[in-house]
Amino acid sequence: MRSRMGLLVAAGLGLTSCAQLTQGLKKANLGDDVNRVVVASEKVQSCDKLKVEPAIQEEYALGSALAIHWAQQSGGLMLSGAAEEKLNTYVNTVGRNLAMQSPRPELAWTFGVLKDTERFNALSAPAGYVFVTRRLLQGVDNEAQLAGVLAHEIAHVVLKHALHQYVSVKVSTCKGAAVTGAVVSTVASKVVGASRLDGRLDLDADTELMGKMVEGTVDAFGKGNRKDEELAADALAVELLLSAGYDPGEYSLLLGKTTGGGGLWANHPSKEDRQEQIADLLKARQKETDPLARVDVASLQRPALPAAFAVVGPVKKSTGVAKDAK
Amino acid sequence: MRQWTWGILMLALGVPVTAAWAVKKDEKLYVKARNTRVLKSAAPTADVVAVLQPGQQVTWKGADPKNAQWHQVTEPGGKPGYVFQTNLSTKPPDMELVAKDGKTRTIDPAAFVSSGAAVKALSPGAEKYGNAKGGGYSNAVSQIKTLEALAKRVTPVEIDAHVKQAGLFPVVAPNTKLGAQAKKVSK
């Protein structure tokens, strides 16, 4: 009985892209087992309504909670004393200049330095939170390199890569509840409920729901971005650097300091692919005949790091793995 | 394949990628950065004719023959002037309007920026979530709030001063003042 039921569920899920067939089975009324499968299939189809762009409040709630999560996971932020605050002010000056030229200039962009001295890393969260580790800053040679890292993370926020993973968490939570045939938690119940409305969740109103969605999204982060998303973030980063007047070649040099992939980051493109794309994009813009797209490479800058940067400690030769997570 | 991907991305960002999409005279272009200045001549220190906000449109007249980084435009009020190249885009930026129903609305970009209707800082639900988890999370809530306050103090004034010092492009102007610009950077 169980195996027959499983077969029917599987058959029903196979129909999820075929609403008409589900409707046909429903009309045919072929018995309890088939009817249960039809109901499950309808619920799974309804879950696709969650594949909508989250409202800005939803993005802002998720992004803030993820920012808290990243800060906690990295041992906190470098905010002790005037020197560390000055460093954060500098990083915000560089970052906000780039962000105000991005396609999302009106987000409340916030840039911060994480205490982490082990991982050569940069992270971002929806709604405009961007973080770099102290270890990464120790490997940066000039402002153009820092700008490159910040621009790449800004690009992930602009292109909503983390939000897409969040949406997939919503959909899988909903489908899980549909397949088991029972709503096993209040969280699943709310997600299923949203699939019957506009697909959006009010995370601010429910701490449990917020927690589950944040944890689900963090788990999804573990798989890293897709290769095409990383390359798209690099391409937009180059545009932001050119817009502000930085030499994207410096960002490419910083990428060159990174090592390998593998593990959680197996999906990342190789640094050679990323560097090649940056070089190709820059060449294309130099040759551009359109006056709005043409780039004068001679006018691009590689500003020196300010005195405020000294607080990150001695610049060591990079041996870490430079990565980003969203 | 990769070039194809770029092409799509660049078009989505409003960057012309081929001659077929090249900007044409009298075409309308969007301003993309906060406090975009329209200047009397093609020089960063020239008098300010108008200050525009993301999403406002100008009519493109052509690149300056002597300095192609400056583009001649007509601002929405009809006054001619020059805008720095990277302030212009063929696509409008997102304005992140806080609307409870999540729907898109047609808004006046300049009024939107001055209204402070943009996204606010740390959400109340996130703060509650962090404090409920306790330990390092409560500390992280407090640190993010401190960081947001610090970030908010980095205004276009500070950005403009830094940009001048570092020799970067004059994209984000410090204020919305018209007329002659201050001669020296105060930093």
Let me know whether A87 and A113 are in one domain: yes
- Whether residue B98 is predicted with pLDDT greater than 50 in this model: the reply is no
Q: Give me the mean pLDDT over the B95-121 stretch.
A: 53
- Whether residue B109 is predicted with pLDDT greater than 80 in this model: the reply is no
Q: Give me the mean pLDDT over the B14-43 stretch.
A: 82
Amino acid letter, residue A163: L
Highest CATH level, class, for B23-120+166-181? mainly beta
CB-based contacts of B19: which residues, under 8 Å, 6+ apart? A289, A290
Judging contacts by C-beta atoms under 8 Å, the chain A residues touching residue B149 are: none
How many domains does chain A fold into? 2
Q: CA of B19 to nearest chain A CA: how many angstroms apart?
A: 6
Sheet of A323-325, strand order: A110-114, A129-133, A121-125, A323-325
Considering only CB atoms, A244 lies closest to which of B15, B93, B171, namely: B171
Sign, CA torsion B50/B52/B57/B58: positive
Q: pLDDT at position A115, please?
A: 96
Residue A203 in domain: no
SS3 letters across A125-167: ECCCEEEEEHHHHHCCCCHHHHHHHHHHHHHHHHCCHHHHHHH
Q: pLDDT at position A220, please?
A: 86
Let me know whether A64 and A142 are in one domain: yes
How many C-beta neighbours within 10 Å does residue A76 have?
A: 18
- Whether residue A129 is predicted with pLDDT greater than 90 in this model: the reply is yes
Residue A198 in domain: no
Q: Which residues of A292-308 are buried (b: 16+ CB within 10 A; e: fewer)?
A: bbbbeeeebbbbebbeb
Interface of B with A in 95-114 (CB under 8 A): 95-100, 102, 112-113
Residue A192 in domain: no
Tell whether B91 is within 8 A of chain A (Cβ).
yes
Domain end among A50, A73, A90: A50
Let me know whether A22 and A71 are in one domain: no
Let me know whether A69 and A155 are in one domain: yes
Q: Give me the mean pLDDT over the A223-238 stretch.
A: 90
Confidence at A226, pLDDT banded by 50, 70, 90: confident
The residues with which A301 forms a beta bridge, in sequence order, are A246
Q: pLDDT at position B186, please?
A: 45
Let me know whether A139 and A235 are in one domain: yes
Let me know whether A27 and A46 are in one domain: yes
- Whether residue B114 is predicted with pLDDT greater than 60 in this model: the reply is no
Confidence at A4, pLDDT banded by 50, 70, 90: very low
- The pLDDT tens digits of the residues spanning A234-270 come to 999 999 999 999 999 999 999 998 875 544 455 678 8
- Whether residue A181 is predicted with pLDDT greater than 50 in this model: the reply is yes
Residue A17 in domain: yes
- Whether residue A5 is predicted with pLDDT greater than 90 in this model: the reply is no
Residue A299 in domain: yes
The residues with which B28 forms a beta bridge, in sequence order, are B59
Residue A175 in domain: no
The residues with which B57 forms a beta bridge, in sequence order, are B30
CB contact under 8 A, B151 and A110: yes
Q: pLDDT at position B118, please?
A: 54
Let me know whether A268 and A131 are in one domain: yes
Q: pLDDT at position A255, please?
A: 93
**ipTM of this complex prediction, to 2 decimal places:** 0.84
CB-based contacts of A298: which residues, under 8 Å, 6+ apart? none
Let me know whether A44 and A81 are in one domain: no
Let me know whether A81 and A229 are in one domain: yes
- Whether residue A320 is predicted with pLDDT greater than 50 in this model: the reply is no
Residue A208: alpha-carbon gap to chain centroid: 22
Let me know whether A125 and A259 are in one domain: yes
Q: pLDDT at position B81, please?
A: 97
Q: Which residue has the higher pLDDT, B135 or A302?
A: A302
Residue B82: alpha-carbon gap to chain centroid: 16
Q: Give me the mean pLDDT over the B38-53 stretch.
A: 95
- Whether residue A64 is predicted with pLDDT greater than 80 in this model: the reply is yes
Judging contacts by C-beta atoms under 8 Å, the chain B residues touching residue A68 are: 126, 129-130, 137, 140-141, 144
Tell me which DSSP letter residue A53 carries. P
CB contact under 8 A, A301 and B54: no
Among A27-41, A42-56, A192-206, name the one with the lowest average pLDDT: A27-41
Judging contacts by C-beta atoms under 8 Å, the chain A residues touching residue B16 are: 288, 290, 292-293
Tell whether B20 is within 8 A of chain A (Cβ).
no
The residue among A73, A79, A238, A243 with the most chain B CBs within 10 A of its CB, best to mutate, is A243
Q: pLDDT at position A95, please?
A: 98
CB-based contacts of A203: which residues, under 8 Å, 6+ apart? A58, A61, A62, A65, A209, A210, A213, B123, B125, B126
Question: What is d(CA B82, CA B80) in angstroms, rounded to the nearest whole number?
Answer: 7
Q: pLDDT at position A223, please?
A: 74
- The pLDDT tens digits of the residues spanning B59-97 come to 999 999 999 999 999 999 999 999 999 999 998 888 765
Considering only CB atoms, B102 lies closest to which of A108, A200, A293, namely: A200
Confidence at B102, pLDDT banded by 50, 70, 90: very low
Q: What count of Cα atoms within 13 Å lies in the side-chain half-sphere of residue A129? A: 32
Distances (CA, A) of A133 to A119, A219, A306, B85: 7, 20, 18, 33
Residue A238 near residue A281, CB atoms below 8 Å: yes
Mean per-residue pLDDT over chain B, rounded: 82
Q: CA of B111 to nearest chain A CA: how many angstroms apart?
A: 13
Q: pLDDT at position B104, please?
A: 43
Confidence at A3, pLDDT banded by 50, 70, 90: very low
Q: The domain containing residue A25 runs over which residues?
A: 1-50
CB contact under 8 A, A97 and B150: no
- The pLDDT tens digits of the residues spanning B116-158 come to 555 567 889 999 999 999 889 999 999 999 999 999 999 999 9
Q: Vertex B72, ends B68 and B74: CA angle to 5°? A: 160
Q: Which residue has the higher pLDDT, B51 or A269?
A: B51
Q: pLDDT at position A14, please?
A: 47
For chain B, give every domain's residue range.
23-120+166-181
pTM of the model: 0.85
